[in-house]
Amino acid sequence: MLVRIEVNGEWREADMWPGSSLLFMLREELALPGSKNACEQGECGSCSVWLEGELVCSCLVLAAQAHEREVRTVESLSEPDGERRHPVQDASIDAGAVQCGFCTPGFVVAVTDLLARDPDPDEATVREALSGNLCRCTGYVKILDAVRMAAERMRTGA
Amino acid sequence: MDVLLPGSLAEALEMKAARPEALPISGGTDVMVELNFDRHRPEAIVDLTRVPELREHGPHDGRYFLGAGVTYARIMREMSSALALRQASRTVGSPQIRNRGTVGGNLGTASPAGDALTVLVAHDAEVVCVAAGGRDRALPWDAFLRGVKRTALAPDELILGTRWTPVRDPGSFSKVGTRNAMVISVARLCLQLDEETRGIRAFAEAVSAAASPIDDVRGSAAYRRHAVRVLAARALRWALAERRVPSGGPGGTS
């Protein structure tokens, strides 16, 4: 089945088995491996992307459901050479929120989504917003530090 | 496997009539897990996310209609008067899941773990099923849900949505799970007071039925049973009038 999506501002297409997920399309067909494949059941959030501007688990979207729709992945947040990064990515590095790094792209997308809607979220709001993203290394403390740091930098333009 | 992408309800129903084996998918939060883990290989899938009729909700003829394709995130944002349903929606999965998952999915999957189902039951909701040609039927929830993962939906039908009579009285939804998010519930409860039509009358009937009145010169047993019914209704009204749950209810609204 031929599926065409606008991913990170560019129209791309792939001919796939019709039961393929959007995550499979991104990673295996479109060479966008930033979204990670971990649980394949919507539990871990590692594959978080935006579909028509809404935060979703791309493993739970049938690629065909995204046909002719707009998708934005973690790759949209920085330049390919890593020279220019999103403030959430910088804060994740600076706060030590990255250990093995597998969950990081999903967290970066979920945090970016949260801060776009709520530039100054309280702790409970942050925890609820990130409840769909699992990290098995950090214990979350430094991830929460990174959210605070990113929020402050984005508010003050630092 | 074929994936069908109808753009309207009429088109979706025609496809379902022609391919009754086609499995409907909307948020995908149940169906995609089955596909990803190779537990189920349907011959065809019909995607309902492009069907605008399923995304509608609002009051209609004294009842509230909730389209099968309305997501939990939209319920939380848009259905300010349905507190218990909003609370239940907030406990579903995670933000990512709530942006996709729908009440129609809870109904179609018919898992006892469906959080929204508890609220629909408490509101004595009906499920509206529709087939090609606009033929539709409304089933009480307990006629639609036939058992664990079993429904009365015919192969050529789709779930249009669900509807119930809104009540003004307080209600709430609560749930116990192994943690707060991304969890299949261990137990759930929806309490909905409905003084006018159900609460007081049902309470009074129960009190009256529990009485063991005697016949004597001051009153017959039938009269005493009736009197107890009236007293019970009156007493509950007094108690409710004096002890109101704060508006917004427990659990907050944020």
Q: Averaged over A51-77, what is the pLDDT?
A: 98
Do A94 and A139 share a structural domain?
yes
Q: Where are the domains of chain B?
A: 52-192, 195-242
Distance between first and last Cα of chain A: 46
Do A146 and A105 share a structural domain?
yes
**Residues in B lying within 8 Å of A, measured between beta carbons:** 1-3, 5, 25, 27-29, 31-33, 35-37, 41, 45, 47, 49, 73, 93-97, 99-100, 180-182
The pLDDT confidence band at residue B244, using thresholds 50, 70 and 90, is low
Interface check A133 vs B, CB under 8 A: yes
Do A48 and A17 share a structural domain?
yes
Architecture of the domain made up of B52-192: 2-Layer Sandwich (3.30)
* Cross-chain Cβ contact A57/B97 below 8 Å: yes
pLDDT above 70 covers a percentage of chain B that reads: 94
CB contacts of A21 in chain B (<8 Å) are 32, 35-36
CB B151 within 8 A of CB B144: yes
What pLDDT, on a 0 to 100 scale, did the predictor assign at position B240? 78
Q: How far apart are CA A16 and CA A1, in angstroms?
A: 5
* Cross-chain Cβ contact B96/A48 below 8 Å: yes
CB A65 within 8 A of CB B47: yes
Helices A104-117 & A141-156 angle (0-180, nearest 10)? 40
Do A71 and A26 share a structural domain?
yes
Per residue in A125-145, is it b (16+ CB within 10 Å) or e — as a string? ebebbbbbbbbeebebebbbb
* Cross-chain Cβ contact A56/B182 below 8 Å: no
Residue A134 lies in a domain: yes
Q: What is the CATH number of the domain that holds A14?
A: 3.10.20.30
What pLDDT, on a 0 to 100 scale, did the predictor assign at position A128? 96
- What is the residue whose two structure tokens read 């039927």? B137
Do A93 and A151 share a structural domain?
yes
A132: nearest CB among B2, B27, B96:
B96
Range of the domain at A138: 87-156
Residue A46 lies in a domain: yes
Is the CA virtual torsion A33, A2, A70, B104 positive or negative? Answer: negative
How many structural domains compose chain A?
Answer: 2
Q: Averaged over B10-27, what is the pLDDT?
A: 97
Q: How far apart are CA B254 and CA B251, in angstroms?
A: 9
ipTM: 0.95
CB contacts of B28 in chain A (<8 Å) are 60-62, 65
Do A97 and A39 share a structural domain?
no
What pLDDT, on a 0 to 100 scale, did the predictor assign at position B253? 44
Residue A82 lies in a domain: no
Interface check A59 vs B, CB under 8 A: yes
Do A63 and A91 share a structural domain?
no
Q: How far apart are CA A90 and CA B97, in angstroms?
A: 27
Do A139 and A73 share a structural domain?
no
pTM of the predicted structure, to 2 decimals:
0.88
Do A71 and A28 share a structural domain?
yes
Token digits for B59? 């009051």
Q: Which residues pair with B172 in a beta bridge?
A: B191
Do A138 and A93 share a structural domain?
yes
Q: What is the count of residue pairs from A and B with beta carbons less than 8 Å apart?
A: 92
* Cross-chain Cβ contact A42/B97 below 8 Å: yes
What pLDDT, on a 0 to 100 scale, did the predictor assign at position B246? 60
Distances from the Cα of B251 to the Cαs of A125, B178, B243, in angstroms?
A: 15, 18, 18
Q: Which of A77, A96, A112 is the last residue of a domain?
A: A77
Residue A142 lies in a domain: yes
Element (H, E) at B84: helix B83-90
* Cross-chain Cβ contact A60/B97 below 8 Å: yes
Do A73 and A115 share a structural domain?
no
Q: What is the CATH number of the domain that holds A152?
A: 1.10.150.120
HSE value, Cβ hemisphere, 13 Å, CA-based, for A48: 31
Do A61 and A96 share a structural domain?
no
Is the CA virtual torsion B14, B16, B22, B23 positive or negative? Answer: positive
